[in-house]
Every structure is written in structure tokens, then in C-alpha cells.
Amino acid sequence: MKTLSPRSFATVTDLFHRVSGIRLGPQKQALVAGRLQKLADESGERDLDRYVERLSSGHAPAEEMTRLVDRLTTNETYFFREPQHFEDLARRAGAAPAGEYTVWSAASSSGEEAYSIAMVLAESRGSTHWQVIGTDLSTTVVDAARRGLYPLDRARLTPPPLLKRHCLKGTGEYAGQLLVSRELRERVSFRVANLMQPLPKDLPAFDVIFLRNVLIYFETDAKAAIVRRVIERLKPGGVLYTGHAESLSMLGLPLRALAPAVHVAA
């Protein structure tokens, strides 16, 4: 692997920060160099510093910046991560009045969280009116989420009865993989959205929003701005779930804590 100079690392992480709002620290230099190398190779440029110079010069095509964001965004996840939230959602969704029930997976990555939500809603609300919307910054992971095809290991925390009812186990060339059922995939939609920018105007108001394990990548001001932007789409009395490692204290937000990483619109 070619080396990435400290100057180029600073340049590319500043560029990524301006586009995504995410700040990558010095401890990420090896990760950034590895992912940049793949982009540079694909573009025909072997020298990483020259590749970064081209990116920062403004002469690179727009799709190159999209690919950069895709490669530098962390997307590792799995079904039913932080299961306490899904247990809480099952209780709330099951007790909610009849009618449309909407849940937003606001940093949905490759879709495991959104499909976990959908399994919970299918169990607690049956075939009545409910929908799940997933959004993510990365076009690559949004495309992967729409396919609904995953390594079986991503479902290691999924309750076996849910796995049996809502997923298909791959055979032959798909051995070791699972496919989310068509019925579930039809109730979940995915789209690209950048939480650092104005949100799509056609997003509905939500009963529940999952905004988990993404705020840790942002500085304090950006974190507060993201949460304010997101909860504008939360219905009065609606619930926001954040990651257990993420704190919203001292941000001055119109939210009240109900339990660890569970908040209600004040």
C-alpha cells in the first residue's frame, strides 16, 4: 500500500468533514489510507497524495466525491443491535392506537436496523397500517439495504422465531446468507439523506425515530443541530432512540429522558 502523507490525510479528512460533518481523527489514518487506495486504484492513480490533490482541486467529477463519502462512512452493523430498544418499541407499538404508525431509521446504514424495526412492527401490529423509512448518507449502503440480502452472521441476535417468519435462508450460491422476505421488504423504503443538510420535505411525521450510533462521530454543535433537525419530524409525544454510548445532556434540546437512550418529545 502506498503511504498517505500527514498533509494529505488532513486535506482529505477536512474535505470529508465539510461534506458529511463527520470528523475522522489521527487514529483513523490507516483506515483512510486503505480505503483511499482502492479509490485511487479504480481511478488509475497509483500515488495517494496526487489522488488527494486531485480531489481537493475541484477538478474531480462530482461522483468521485460521492464515492469518497461511501468509502469513508462506517457501516458495520447487525440485526437487533442494542435489543432493549426493540423490546421497548414492541411494547409501545403494540399499545398504540389503531391507525398509521411510522418509524424512521435515520442512520440506517445497510438496512439491518430498519428491517429489525419492521419485524417488530409486523409482530406487534400485524398487517395494519405501518411503515418504516430508512435513510443514510451513503448511496452504496442504501442500495444494499434495498436488496435485503445479508450474511447470516448479521442475524446472530435475531430471535429465531422472527428469523424463521421473516427471512429466507440461502442455499447453493447463497449459502451462508439470508434474504429478508418480500412481504417485509415491501413495507420498508430506503433513500439517501444527509443529516447535516435540510431533510427531504416529503418525509412524514414519525411516531418513533431511531438515531443510534451516529452522533458519536460529530462535534457538539453538529450533534445538537442534527438532533434538532431530526426531531422536527417527531410527532408530539413521539419517541427518539439514541445509542447507549451517546449523550444528549447539556445540548439544550426539547427532549425528556424516559430511560437510558430513550427520549420523548417535550
**Catalytic residue ranges:** 35, 136
* Residue 166 grid cell: 421473516
How many helices and strands, by DSSP H and E, does the chain display? 10, 10
Residues 33 and 39: their CA atoms lie apart, in Å, by 10
Residues 54 and 34: their CA atoms lie apart, in Å, by 18
- Helices 6-20 and 62-72: angle between axes, nearest 10 degrees: 100
Give me the residues paired with residue 259 across strands: 262
Contact call for residues 56 and 11 (beta carbons, < 8 A) = yes
Residues 159 and 141: their CA atoms lie apart, in Å, by 24
